[in-house]
Amino acid sequence: MASNTVNSRRRPADDESNDGTDESALETARRQLNRVADGLDIDPNIVERLRHPSHVHRVAVPLKRDDGSIEVFTGYRAQHDSVRGPYKGGIRYHPGVTEEECIGLSMWMTWKCAVMDIPFGGAKGGLVVDPKRLSETEHERLTRRFAQELRDTVGPKRDIPAPDMGTDSRTMAWFMDAYSMQEGETEPGVVTGKPPVIGGSYGREEAPGRSVALVTREACAHYDLGLDGTTIAIQGFGSVGANAARLLDEWGATIVSISDVNGAVYDPDGIDTVDVPSHDEKPEAVTQYADDRISNEELLTLDVDVLIPAAVGNVLTEANADDVQAELVVEGANGPTTSSADSVFSERGIPVIPDILANAGGVTVSYFEWLQDINRRQWSLERVHDELESEMLDAWCNVRREVEERNVSWRDGAYSVALSRIGEAHRIRGLWP
Ligand code: GLU
C-alpha cells in the first residue's frame, strides 16, 4: 500500500479562471472553504490546515476476472480531518474516480459531519472501475481485496466507510466480512450501510433521500411555498432521488420531472413516483415509464418551484445557471453546483440549500448504525425516523440562524456552523508536537 501526505502550500486548485463541468471537487471544496473562512472569525492557520487532507492512501487492487485474466484497479482513500472523531465517508465505484475528487469529497464529509454535530471527521474513497462491467462475483472479489488493501487504514475507531455512487449494502457486507475474517472477530462497526441482518440500521438506505425531502419541506415553508402543489424536478432516480421524490410526493408536492442516465420524463400534472422503479428496483428504467421525454439538461431548466439535482456532481455550471427557472435549489447529490454557478444563483437571488446539509441524513443514520453496532442493539425503523427528523431539524435551525443573523447564503451558513465547530476543536486540541 502506498500512502502519502499532501502538504504542499501551493494553491493549484484555486485558479478562479477554471469553471465548468470539469471543475474538480477539490477545486470547488477549496474555493468554498476560502470564501467562507474569509468572513469568519477563525484562525487562518487552522484554515490552512483544513485545506489539506491528513492522508491520501492509494492502492492497487488486482482482480481475477471470471475469464481467468487479471486486471489491476486503482483505489483511493482520502482522510481529511479527524479532530472531532474517526474519519467517515463513502466508497464509490466509478470510472471517473480520481485522487482529487476523493480529497474534495472527503473535505465535504468533514463539514457534513460537523454541521450535523456528529462526532466523526471526513473521508472518501473510491475505485476507478465501471461497476456495470463487473459480474456479481467479480464485484465481490474486488471488494474483498480492496478491503484487504485498506485494512490498516480503516477500522471502527479509525475510519468507517459507507456506500456511495456504485456501491450498496452488498458491497458493505463483503467489505465487513473480509475485514472481520482477517481480524478474527466480527466487526460490524467497520462500515455502515450494511444490511440490517448483519448490524445495518433500518432506514439507512433511504436516509439521504429522506433528509433531502425533510430539508426541502423546511425550505419551502421558509420561503412560503406550501408543499401542496409545489412543482419539483429531480435529477437522478437512485437512492437519493427516488426516496426524496416519493416522500415529497406523499407529502403533497407535484413531482413533474425525474430522470436517470438515459434521460428525463416530464408530466406537468405530476408523475406517479411509486409506479416508476428506482435505480435499485430496476436500473435505468425511468424513460420507459412515461411518454413525454426530455433530456437531463432540459430537466435542470424547467419552470418549476424546486429543483433537486440528485445524480452526479457539476451539473449546474456557468453555462446553464442563468437558464435555471426554479425558485429554490436543494442539492441531493454531492457537489452538483460549481462555484461559478453558485455565484450566478446568488446574484439572481435563487437560494441553494447545500449538499452538506440536505443529504446529510445518510451519514447521520450511519452514525446511528455505528452506535447500534457498538451497543449490539438494533433500533426500530420508527426510532431511526424520529431521531433523524430531530437531528435534521436541529441542523436546519442552526444553519437558518446563521443565514438570518449574518445575511449569508445557505451554503455559507452551513459552512460557518461546521467550521466554527471544527475550528474550535482544533484550537482546544492544539497542534502536536
Ligand atoms: N456517501 C454518503 C455521503 O456522501 C454517506 C457517507 C456515510 O454514511 O459515511 O454522505
Tell how far the Cα of 40 is from the centroid of ligand 1, in angstroms: 27
Atom of ligand 1 nearest to the CA of 89: 9
Tell me how far apart the alpha carbons of residues 235 and 209 are, in angstroms, rounded to a whole number. Answer: 12
Asked if residue 195 belongs to a domain, the reply is no
Tell how far the Cα of 113 is from the centroid of ligand 1, in angstroms: 10
Element (H, E) at 44: helix 44-50
Atom of ligand 1 nearest to the CA of 92: 1
Tell how far the Cα of 90 is from the centroid of ligand 1, in angstroms: 5
Decide which of 353, 368, 388 is a domain's last residue.
Answer: 353
Tell how far the Cα of 304 is from the centroid of ligand 1, in angstroms: 28
Q: What angle do CA 298, 301, 304 make, to 5 degrees?
A: 115
Q: Are residues 180 and 268 in the same domain?
A: no
Beta-strand relationship, 70-81 and 55-64: antiparallel
Give 131 or 15, the one with higher predicted confidence. 131
Asked if residue 398 belongs to a domain, the reply is no
Tell how far the Cα of 267 is from the centroid of ligand 1, in angstroms: 31
Tell me how far apart the alpha carbons of residues 237 and 285 are, in angstroms, rounded to a whole number. Answer: 9
Q: Are residues 234 and 296 in the same domain?
A: yes
Catalytic residues: 124
Decide which of 336, 353, 370 is a domain's last residue.
Answer: 353
The runs of H, that is alpha helices, within 125-201 are 136-149, 169-183
- pLDDT on residue 21: 55
Decide which of 136, 155, 188 is a domain's last residue.
Answer: 188
pLDDT tier for residue 22 given thresholds of 50, 70 and 90: low
The runs of H, that is alpha helices, within 184-327 are 207-222, 239-250, 296-300
Q: Are residues 74 and 168 in the same domain?
A: yes
How far lies 413's CA from each of 35, 40, 218, 354, 424, in Å?
12, 10, 16, 10, 17
Atom of ligand 1 nearest to the CA of 204: 8
Asked if residue 393 belongs to a domain, the reply is no
Atom of ligand 1 nearest to the CA of 363: 8
User: 237 lies in which domain range?
Assistant: 207-353
Beta-strand relationship, 231-235 and 254-260: parallel
Q: Are residues 127 and 168 in the same domain?
A: yes
pLDDT in tens, 87-136: 999 999 999 999 999 999 999 999 999 999 999 999 999 999 999 999 99
Q: Are residues 87 and 123 in the same domain?
A: yes
pLDDT tier for residue 337 given thresholds of 50, 70 and 90: very high
Q: Are residues 32 and 149 in the same domain?
A: yes
Asked if residue 364 belongs to a domain, the reply is no
Q: Are residues 152 and 95 in the same domain?
A: yes
Q: Phi, psi (5° rounding) for residue 98?
A: -135, 165
Atom of ligand 1 nearest to the CA of 112: 10
- Nearest protein Cα to ligand 1, atom 8: 363
- pLDDT, the chain, mean: 93
Q: Are residues 81 and 153 in the same domain?
A: yes
pTM: 0.93
| CATH number of the CATH domain containing 178 | 3.40.50.10860
Ligand 1 mutation pick, 366, 367, 384, 392, max ligand atoms within 8 A of CB:
366
pLDDT tier for residue 157 given thresholds of 50, 70 and 90: very high
Tell how far the Cα of 89 is from the centroid of ligand 1, in angstroms: 5
Tell me how far apart the alpha carbons of residues 282 and 280 are, in angstroms, rounded to a whole number. Answer: 6
Mean pLDDT value across residues 233-249: 97
Mean pLDDT value across residues 68-82: 98
Number of domains in the chain: 2
Q: Are residues 100 and 172 in the same domain?
A: yes
Q: Which residues, judged by CB distance below 6 Å to any ligand atom, belong to the binding site of ligand 1?
A: 88-90, 112, 162, 164, 192, 334, 359, 362-363, 366
Q: Are residues 182 and 228 in the same domain?
A: no
